[in-house]
Amino acid sequence: METITIVSIVAAIMGIVQVLKVSGLPTRFAPLTSLVIGIAFLIYFNHGFDSQALFDGIVAGLMACGLWAGTKTTLSPTIE
């Protein structure tokens, strides 16, 4: 897949997971949810299930989870 497509999918995953968390999804399930959504998106966009779609979906889900955690950690004020 092209880089811009993956970046767009990662942003969409982050948004969907955030909406689900606001709707009541426990925070501890957010990484698993982003992984499942990433796999589903990439299977859909690759028009079928194959090993590349599965791998790309896992990477996109983990990127969304890691990008959110890294941004939150970087931007949150430190408590001393």
Q: Which of 9-18, 28-37, 56-65, 69-78 has the lowest mean pLDDT?
A: 69-78
| DSSP-derived secondary structure for 21-53 | HHTT--GGGHHHHHHHHHHHHHHHHTTS--HHH
pLDDT in tens, 48-70: 888 888 898 888 998 888 876 76
Alpha-carbon distance of 54 to 77, in angstroms, equals 37
Which band of pLDDT confidence, cut at 50, 70 and 90, is reported for residue 75? low
pTM score, two decimals? 0.77
Please compute the mean of the pLDDT values over residues 33-45 and round it to a whole number: 91
pLDDT at 20: 95
Distances (CA, A) of 40 to 14, 53, 77: 14, 9, 35
pLDDT on residue 80: 46
